[in-house]
């Protein structure tokens, strides 16, 4: 009699790279007989794939682990693992604080999950937070051919060498590493064969990608060009970028590569040169603004988004107003904004000139109002225009489909479900709080 498959539940925190990593972890454990489940209580193994970027990230993970205690007591054979950046930062401390945890694996070692799971099955506990020399992507190079949705993430680069004063990524993800182009192209072909029409290239600093392209070094623009030759791949995006790695070739690609979508997430963090220097960003506000000019000259209709931190240690009212001025000049389509929170082990956490929480709250509200106004203006400017939409899933209303426009706006359209996975022209008829409505054109 065949043994029933074991069930794996993964909770993913944080960024798109963690979403991609969770997919690969599920694939790795599939070799050990696991299938994924959306129901935590029926799982034989629970993995928390963690992020260390936001405030009190570790404590939130410990809180979630505490909520797993009754399930572990009810199912003593349940395996519980912590993966990702909190695992990398905390290591053995997780096993000490939480005896219910069976394994801890960092983001560079998850290809070793099957052997770690086997060790736990023999009654042990396992920790692997090394930065191994072996390539985790090569160890996991074969992806399942099962039918997929029309969009997918594809990691091309990991790690960061920038060492921004507020950021833990260089410590949890390590130095910048670029995957070889041939492996990226092969994985992209496999995704397209499985039904993917749009791929988002991922990296902590994705535009720092420099891999081997047919025996020559090439930047991200060259990789985009190779991927654009894949029949059936209709759209390419990439995130997240650093302004200092936006080279002229990549800027030009936004103007001449039809499959590269007119959307760019380019974090700036602050509009104050004094704060940018304290953050170790290695660019000025003026350099960022002139870069935006060159990008818009190459692709006038590009939609720009960004990240902002308010209340960085030492930020004055004048520094904050400089950020507001930069936002007014750029005119973003949307942006992410956060209050500064000290991350243990980063240089900024050591500084004594912390901004009062009430001041940070006021600044964040003012910034978010301005960014919200700009997002609404960008959406309303689409009304009456035609765009292409890649339909991904049914909407909440009967007979409705939802997809993404070229500029990554969610668009709701009365359309048959047969359009799932297809790209169609849509005329935008209305703008809502966080999405657009449209009708099929022609």
Q: Which residues participate in the annotated binding site for [4Fe-4S] cluster?
A: 15, 51, 85, 160, 164, 167
C-alpha–C-alpha distance, residues 45 and 10, integer Å:
8
Annotated binding-site members: 15, 51, 85, 160, 164, 167
- What is the DSSP annotation of 21-47? HHHHHHHHHHTTTEEE-S-GGG-SEEE
Other C-beta atoms lying within 10 Å of the C-beta of residue 231: 7
| CB-based contact 283:245 (threshold 8 Å) | no
Q: Which residues pair with 404 in a beta bridge?
A: 390, 410
C-alpha–C-alpha distance, residues 357 and 430, integer Å:
38
Helix axes 248-256, 285-298, angle to 10 degrees: 30
C-alpha–C-alpha distance, residues 138 and 159, integer Å:
17
C-alpha–C-alpha distance, residues 217 and 367, integer Å:
41
| CB-based contact 322:286 (threshold 8 Å) | no
| CB-based contact 407:375 (threshold 8 Å) | no
C-alpha–C-alpha distance, residues 375 and 144, integer Å:
38
Residues 6+ apart with CB under 8 A from 291: 243, 246, 266
Look-up of token digits 């909407």: 395
Angle at 373 between CA 14 and CA 278, to 5 degrees: 55
Rg, Å, the chain Cα set: 23
3 state DSSP class of 266: coil
The DSSP element (H or E) to which 85 belongs, if any, is: helix 85-90
| CB-based contact 402:376 (threshold 8 Å) | no
C-alpha–C-alpha distance, residues 137 and 344, integer Å:
29
| Nearest Cα to Cα of residue 268 among 239, 234, 242 | 242
Q: Which residues pair with 400 in a beta bridge?
A: 414
147 CB burial (10 A radius; 0-12, 13-18, 19+): exposed
């Amino acid at each position: 009699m065949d043994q029933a498959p074991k069930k794996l539940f993964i909770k993913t925190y944080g960024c798109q790279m963690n979403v991609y990593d969770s997919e690969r972890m599920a694939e790795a454990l599939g070799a050990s007989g696991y299938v994924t489940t959306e129901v935590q209580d029926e799982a034989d193994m629970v993995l928390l794939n963690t992020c260390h970027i936001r405030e009190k990230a570790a404590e939130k993970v410990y809180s979630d682990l505490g909520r797993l205690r009754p399930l572990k007591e009810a199912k003593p054979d349940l395996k519980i693992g912590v993966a990702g950046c909190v695992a990398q930062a905390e290591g053995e401390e997780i096993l000490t604080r939480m005896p219910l945890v069976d394994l801890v694996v960092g983001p560079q070692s998850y290809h070793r999950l099957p052997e770690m799971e086997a060790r736990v099955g023999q009654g042990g506990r396992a920790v692997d937070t090394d930065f191994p020399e072996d390539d985790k992507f090569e160890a996991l190079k074969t992806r399942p051919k099962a039918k997929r949705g029309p969009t997918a993430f594809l990691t091309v680069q990991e790690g960061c060498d920038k060492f921004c004063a507020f950021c833990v990524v260089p410590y949890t993800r390590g130095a910048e590493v670029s995957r070889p182009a041939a492996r990226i192209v092969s994985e992209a072909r496999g995704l397209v064969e499985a039904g993917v029409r749009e791929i988002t290239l991922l990296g902590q600093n994705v535009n720092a990608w420099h891999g081997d392209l047919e025996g020559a070094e090439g930047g991200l623009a060259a990789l985009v060009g190779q991927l654009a030759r894949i029949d059936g791949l209709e759209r390419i995006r990439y995130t997240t970028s650093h302004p200092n790695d936006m080279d002229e070739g990549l800027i030009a690609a936004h103007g001449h590569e039809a499959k590269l979508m007119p959307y760019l997430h380019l974090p700036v963090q602050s509009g104050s040169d004094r704060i940018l220097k304290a953050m170790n960003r290695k660019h000025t506000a003026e350099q960022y603004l002139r870069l935006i000019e060159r990008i818009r000259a190459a692709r006038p209709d590009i939609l720009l988004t960004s990240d902002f931190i308010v209340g960085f240690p030492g930020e004055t009212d004048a520094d904050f107003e400089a950020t507001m001025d930069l936002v007014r000049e750029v005119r973003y389509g949307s942006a992410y904004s956060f209050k500064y929170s000290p991350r243990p082990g980063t240089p900024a956490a050591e500084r004594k000139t912390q901004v009062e929480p009430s001041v940070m709250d006021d600044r964040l509200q003012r910034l978010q109002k301005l960014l919200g106004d700009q997002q609404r203006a960008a959406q309303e400017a689409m009304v009456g225009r035609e765009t292409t939409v890649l339909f991904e899933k049914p909407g909440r209303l009967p007979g409705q489909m939802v997809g993404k426009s070229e500029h990554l706006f969610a668009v709701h359209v009365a359309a048959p479900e047969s359009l799932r996975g297809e790209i169609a022209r849509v005329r935008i008829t209305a703008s809502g709080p966080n999405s657009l409505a449209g009708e099929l054109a022609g």
